[in-house]
Amino acid sequence: MLPWYYATLEEWGIRYSSSVYPGHTYLYGIAGFPQQIHRPLIDGVQTGVTEIPQRLTRIFGKDIGFSGGFYFRLFPLHFILHNIRRLNREGAPLFIYLHPREIDPRAPRLPLRGLDRMIHYWAVGSCEQKFIRLLQSLSSRYVTMADYVASLPAPDIP
Q: How distant is the alpha carbon of residue 68 from its chain centre?
A: 6
Q: Are 96 and 72 in contact (CB under 8 A)?
A: yes
Q: Consecutive sets of 10 residues in the chain, 158 residues long: mean pLDDT of each?
A: 87 92 90 89 88 92 94 97 92 88 94 95 97 88 84 67
Look at residue 125 in the predicted model and tell me its pLDDT.
Answer: 96
Determine which helix (DSSP H) or strand (DSSP E) holds 5, and give its type and residue range.
Answer: helix 3-11
102 vs 128: CA distance, rounded Å: 8
- Check if the beta carbon of residue 61 is closer than 8 Å to that of residue 158: no
- Judge if pTM exceeds 0.75: yes
pLDDT at 45: 87
Domain segments of the chain: what residues?
A: 3-156
